[in-house]
Structure formats: C-alpha cells, structure tokens
Amino acid sequence: MAEHRSMQRGALLDAARSLLSEGGTEALTFPALAERTGLARSSVYEYFRSRAAVVEELCAVDFPVWAAEIEAAMSEAQEPEAKIEAYVRSQLGLVGDKRHRAVVAISASELDAGAREKIRAAHGSLIAMIVEALAALGQAEPRLSAMLLQGVVDAAVRRIEAGAEEDPVIVTDAAVAMALRGVGG
C-alpha cells in the first residue's frame, strides 16, 4: 500500500511539473491534477492539502537534484573562471528540462510564505556555490556579486524561456561573457 501511495504521489508531482511547465502556476489546479493522473479530485486532497503544498514538495524534490547537477558541473572545473562558466552554462542548459520549467514557474508565482521561504533557501544554496569562486577571483563583495550574477542567469533563463529571437546558445554565451567580463565586452 505504501508503495502504491508513493507511486501515486510521484505521478501527481510529475503531472504538476507538466502543468507548471505548460501553463505556469495558473494551470496547476486540483481538477487538472486529477484529470492528468486519472485520480478522483478527492484523492488529490489525500496527498496534498493545497496548491502551495504541491509547490513546496516540488521544491523539496526538484531543487536538490537541480543544484546537484550544477554542483557536479562546477566540480569538474579547476579555475574560478571555469567554475563560474560551468555555473552559468549548467543552469541555462537545464532550461528545456520540465523540472526546470516547473521551478521557474514556481519562482515567478504568488505563493504563501512557507513556499516562498523554501524557494529563497534553495536559491540561497545555489548562490552559496558560486561565492567561493568569486572570492578566489578577488571580488571584494563575493556574496553580493553572486546575487548579481544569479540575476544575469535568471534574465538569460527568462530570455530563453520566452523563445527570444536569439538562439539559446547565443543567450548562454552572452550570459557567460557578462559573468566573466562584466559589461567590458
């Protein structure tokens, strides 16, 4: 029984990822989750008490996987510049991934304080990964620089997600150049 419940919970989370990546948080409704999974709407409530609860669980499940992929890419790089490039490229490389689109949709939405706090903590762990590399490059304010760098990454994510006229490779290369050389070109 526990295994069956775990499978249904997993199916609900996967349906939530699809709904979020297709239509943002407005698309994430209990009737839509029920329809996608073939469960009765009342059954969805047995697993999650609210939309925010679904979002919180997605954050708890997907953010660590996402962060681990970024961390793995960074750990292969030796020099601080290469670590920063890996940080930017690995995040932008995940843009087409359904989990990533779900996380982006979640991050952009109006959520209760608990869900927002989980998202902030997850973003904080991403930023913490890059602080050391920025300090090694001689940044006087590595944490501030990390937050600004993440802002560049977030802007590039939005540009790619929006289907900008530039190829995602061009957006990614521009974000890497911005991260490594600032506006100096």
Using the predicted structure, report yes or no on whether residue 174 has a pLDDT greater than 90: yes
Q: Are 104 and 98 in contact (CB under 8 A)?
A: no
Q: At a CB cut-off of 8 Å and minimum separation 6, what does 2 contact?
A: none
What sign does the CA torsion over 88, 90, 96, 97 have?
negative
Residue closest to 138 by CA, chosen among 90, 81, 71: 81
Q: Give the model's confidence band at 110: pLDDT under 50 very low, under 70 low, under 90 confident, else very high.
A: low
Using the predicted structure, report yes or no on whether residue 34 has a pLDDT greater than 90: yes
Using the predicted structure, report yes or no on whether residue 185 has a pLDDT greater than 60: no
Q: Are 20 and 106 in contact (CB under 8 A)?
A: yes
Residue closest to 160 by CA, chosen among 171, 175, 152: 171
Q: Give the model's confidence band at 112: pLDDT under 50 very low, under 70 low, under 90 confident, else very high.
A: low
| pLDDT tens-digit map of 3-17 | 778 888 999 999 998
Which secondary-structure segment (H or E) carries 16? helix 2-23
Mean per-residue pLDDT over the chain, rounded: 85
What sign does the CA torsion over 15, 96, 66, 20 have?
negative
- The share of the chain scoring above pLDDT 70, in percent, equals 89
What sign does the CA torsion over 145, 151, 152, 157 have?
positive
d(CA 60, CA 78): 30
Q: Mean pLDDT across the stretch 42-49?
A: 92
pLDDT computed for residue 117 by the predictor:
75
